[in-house]
Structure 1
Amino acid sequence: LKDMAPGRVALEPVNEPPQDCTSEVWPKVQAALLTTARGSAKDLPLLTTGGCGSMVRGLTALDPAPLAEFEPILFTFHFYEPYLFSHQGAPWMGEPVYRALNNVPWPASAGSLEQTLASVRARMADDTERSDEAKKAAYEETEKVLKVYFDAQPDRRFIDGYLAQVSDWADGHGIAPGRIIMGEFGALRTDARYTAAPNPDRARYIADVRQSAEAAGFPWAFWDLFDGMGMMDDITRALDPAMVEALGLTMPPT
């Protein structure tokens, strides 16, 4: 990448480092990677991040001062808050509540605890891999966390509050918001088999996150083209007009 246009290309050495948010190990690992990269490419922008999967609290725990020697650098964070919405039904999440989560509304005021729990029960009924005992324990935990979700009534103000932490961090370190990239955001589709009707919650969420990032001055990248979180149909690869609109883009001519 060293000979590519520095205004068009940047190198991100690691995607979502797994170390703790306040880990003393990750800054050392990152510095070693950046040293190697800068030794080969003098002008290529390097993308830096905090620990704990590049979450907001990982970035805000990062001290950018030692990274100044690697300029030009950019900073990145990923945004999927609240995970109860964005990762509903995610099979890769370790917590037992996510597997059967479905029909979680955005904003929370667009639905109800009772409707969401009914969809959770329907999805659990079709789960033949977990025992009844495991599903019972998972349901009890799911009921608890969903009650917290609906009591909190998250909406775009919730997103703005999270991104304000990044803005405060940037202001405190004299970093222009245009140098901070929201490198991933998105949400899984609700499984239509367990809902009464299709809903626009995912598009509302994606529009809210995108608009909040733009209001804060952060460039962004969406995750991803397809595979449940994308802006295309998983089978036909056709663009989803609702996702295109939520991202502030326009459909290509047919």
Structure 2
Amino acid sequence: MGNSFEVGRFGPEGVRNAGANDFTRIAAAGFKTIRLPVRWSDKTADDLGHAIDPKWMAQVDTAVGQALDAGLNVILNDHHFEALDDDPAANSAKLAAIWRQVAKHFADRPTDRLWFEIENEPHKNLTNANLLATLNPSLAAIRESNPDRPVIIGGENWSGIDSLATLELPDDDNVYPTFHYYEPFDFTHQGATWAGDPPPKVGRVYGNAADAERLVRDVDKIRAYVERTGKVPFMGETGAYEGYIEPEQRAAYHRAVREAFAPTGIGVCAWAYTNTFPFYDQKAGRWIPGMLEAFGLPEK
């Protein structure tokens, strides 16, 4: 649910892409799960307890309830805690304080349908080397009120697929690994101004032999991780930027990724519903042609 609760301190109060009608539409299309990114760190007090703004908590609570009522599973995460990536040690306690409150608030929600993801896309100074030292206090805070709640952890470098090679998880049967997949980056992010200076060049077409070979290699990385750990990772994000990529090419990319990774049995969330890498066209009031079929769902 991109461009929703991760918009930040100065973003709009409330959410234009995460209401009851949206969740009903998503479920009717055949999706089973939504991932709800939340920028909790910008909605907390500056004291030691880091109390979350109750109005903000109520808004997130409403969205989670609406999604569950629509029959969807929900992954609730912490998103864009930029200070944590800059200085993990100095901000680990704040993250734990956030999760202590969030976990307690949602403790009565179904354990099998609401999952927590401690931190989105660790990067910069938050690496696999210090990941567990940084996130374990948050996991302990969650376990105070949610002893069996599934918890998701992703690795370094924006949780790219190569982070799995050195990703270690806590000794907890209800912790699951995730990775994000935007390969090849020069295709999925072409022209995206936030993706580099300069950004990837515009005009990259998807579907050549090298792209097919990359998929084979990357699927092998998943198999290697499963063999090493016994755990099947979850693809928490994948997508292609709409700015300079035609819908047919975006659909071709999603189809290729889905078909390549399907034999591994991994779950997949697409980024995003309506935001920058969209599946649904809000202005036209329809699913973008080809995108649902590419994800293995009937066209609407």
CA distance in 2, matches of 1:75, 1:235: 36
Matching of residue 4 in structure 1 with residue 109 in structure 2: yes
Aligned residues: 195
Q: So what's the TM-score if we normalise by structure 1?
A: 0.70
CA distance in 2, matches of 1:156, 1:245: 20
Counting only pairs closer than 5 Å after superposition, residues 10-89 of structure 1 correspond to structure 2 as 10-19=115-124, 23-64=128-169, 67-68=170-171, 70-89=172-191
The correspondence for 2:238, drawn from 179, 185, 190, is 185
3-state SS of paired residue (1:6): coil
Q: So what's the TM-score if we normalise by structure 2?
A: 0.60
For 2:274, give the aligned amino acid. Answer: F
Provide Cα deviations, 1:138-191, integer angstroms capped at 9, x if missing partner: xxxxxxxxxxxxxxx42233112112112201211222x3xx211100001253
Residue aligning to 1:136: none
Residue aligning to 1:103: 203
1:87–1:187 Cα contact (<8 Å) kept: yes
CA distance in 1, matches of 2:247, 2:269: 24
Residue aligning to 1:160: 216
2:182–2:240 Cα contact (<8 Å) kept: yes
Matching of residue 240 in structure 1 with residue 296 in structure 2: no
3-state SS of paired residue (2:268): coil
Residue aligning to 2:225: 169
Residue aligning to 2:297: 249
CA distance in 2, matches of 1:59, 1:43: 24
3-state SS of paired residue (1:10): strand
Unaligned runs of 5+ in 1: 109-152, 193-197
Task: Note closer, same or farther for the CA distance 1:54–1:237 as it changes in structure 2 (3 Å cut).
Answer: farther
Counting only pairs closer than 5 Å after superposition, residues 133-152 of structure 1 correspond to structure 2 as none
CA distance in 2, matches of 1:79, 1:102: 20
Residue aligning to 2:270: 222
Residue aligning to 1:126: none
For 2:228, give the aligned amino acid. Answer: G
Provide Cα deviations, 1:24-62, integer angstroms capped at 9, x if missing partner: 222211212111111221121111121111111222211
3-state SS of paired residue (1:44): coil
3-state SS of paired residue (1:182): strand
More strand by share: 2
CA distance in 1, matches of 2:121, 2:161: 11
For 1:228, give the aligned amino acid. Answer: T
Residue aligning to 1:212: 260
Matching of residue 90 in structure 1 with residue 192 in structure 2: yes
Unaligned runs of 5+ in 2: 1-105
CA distance in 2, matches of 1:221, 1:199: 18
Task: Note closer, same or farther for the CA distance 1:61–1:21 as it changes in structure 2 (3 Å cut).
Answer: farther
- Offset at residue 15 of structure 1 (A): 0.7
Identity across matched positions, percent: 26
For 2:252, give the aligned amino acid. Answer: R
For 2:216, give the aligned amino acid. Answer: D
For 2:192, give the aligned amino acid. Answer: A
CA distance in 1, matches of 2:165, 2:299: 36
CA distance in 1, matches of 2:212, 2:112: 32
- Offset at residue 210 of structure 1 (A): 1.3
2:128–2:167 Cα contact (<8 Å) kept: no
Provide Cα deviations, 1:2-41, integer angstroms capped at 9, x if missing partner: 2221211110011111146854222211212111111221
CA distance in 1, matches of 2:263, 2:285: 31
- Offset at residue 97 of structure 1 (A): 3.7
